[in-house]
Amino acid sequence: MINLELPKKLRASANQAHQVAAQIFRPISRKYDLAEHEYPVELDTMSAMIEGLADSGTQQIGGASGGRGDEAAAVGNANGGNMSSLMNTLETAWGDVGLLLTIPYQGLGNAAIAAVATDEQLERFGKVWAAMAITEPSFGSDSAAVTTTAVLDGDEWVLNGEKIFVTAGERATHIVVWASVDKSLGRAAIKSFVVPRDAPGLSVARLEHKLGIKASDTAVLLLQDCRIPADNILGSPEVNVEKGFAGVMQTFDNTRPLVAAMAVGVARAALEELRAILTEAGVEISYDTPAMNQSAAAAEFLRMEADYEAAYLLSLRAAWMADNKKPNSLEASMSKAKAGRTGTDVTLKAVELAGTLGYSQRLLLEKWSRDSKILDIFEGTQQIQQLIVARRVLGKTSAELK
């Protein structure tokens, strides 16, 4: 049974992440929001610290190391890599989600590697900085619509295609690319490949100008006869039509709770700022008085705080299930859907209730409202998450419920 009280080691790790968010991220948050595409050099020092912590056995701060669960799960309740990654992600997102997404060696591709790589691949790619390239110009959330191809030529894979909206696509040392090894076999033939930044045929076409998370580079990547070693395909190269798309989609079971944690972290930041503003304005928020008997602002705050708590608990549940080797596809999508929606709702309402302060750049509220929108979009939109939840609850396949 899930225990909602975090163990001491996770609290210590989360506290370290919070200190990074408060002491490093917050002070430079506005600077890199205004200087889009400029690399945050302050993160280099932090990256060295993270590597030292990882080598010493301490959990990573950025949160991309969650993987297959703790071995302790075989004998009892476990809170391992996934829960630690989730808590650290939440705390650093509280500081600045754009900076979180550009921490060296903490890319979303790292979580993909942790989810499906073989033991030998974990040894080789365990310390790379991996971005994740899924989306293409012809599709957004329908990951099964991948048109990028991978053809085996001797002892190399040859990749061709275009990937868009690749987070950390220019800065990362490696890219996890989704491609089809045989289009005639449909989604079952979609595999993920680790492509080094200097691989011949890989290039950055452009960087996107965005609404939010401006500290993070978002790239369009071109793969033109891009050659990588044959053993850079993650997991098994065999196409299992029976298993279908499940193998590569397992990545999302790890990354969606992390994105949910990002949204929860941003929502918490906005709620804390809003509470301070309301308190200073003389608005009393009571937990003993019915919401309908309080001011409209107080009632709205209580509603948003309840949504925040629900999103937080759903995220914990998804991570706990991963650590305890329980199938969590439903719970991962539930947490992502709830947290994504809550993040945008809370941050936008905080801007509204804060009045002119909320809309100005004197505070970070308006920035958080812009940053939060992507957290409801990438790793699967709100609508896609609800569709996945419906399929799991109703027992329908993707062909039966579209």
Q: Which residues are catalytic?
A: 379
Count of residues making up the chain = 402
Q: How far apart are CA 21 and CA 306, in angstroms?
A: 24
Per-residue three-class SS string for the chain: CCCCCCCHHHHHHHHHHHHHHHHHHHHHHHHHHHCCCCCCCHHHHHHHHHHHHHHCCCCCCCCCCCCCCCHHHHCCCCCCHHHHHHHHHHHHHHHCHHHHCCCCCCCHHHHHHHHHCCHHHHHHHCCCCEEEECCECCECCCHHHCCCEEEEECCEEEEEEEEEEEECCCCCCEEEEEEECCHHHHHHHEEEEEEECCCCCEEEEEECCCCCCCCCCEEEEEEEEEEEEHHHECCCCCCCCCCCCHHHHHHHHHHHHHHHHHHHHHHHHHHHHHHHHHHHCCCCCCCCCCHHHCCHHHHHHHHHHHHHHHHHHHHHHHHHHHHCCCCCHHHHHHHHHHHHHHHHHHHHHHHHHCCHHHHCCCCCHHHHHHHHHHHCCCCCCHHHHHHHHHHHHHCCCCCCCC
What is the distance between the alpha carbons of residues 142 and 134, in angstroms, rounded to a whole number?
A: 10
What CA–CA distance (Å, rounded) separates 326 from 329? 9
Tokens matching residue 376: 């409801």
CA-CA distance, 51 to 277, in Å (whole number)?
A: 38
- Cβ neighbour number for residue 160 with a 10 Å cutoff: 16
CB neighbours of 401 closer than 8 A, spacing ≥ 6? 387, 390, 391, 394
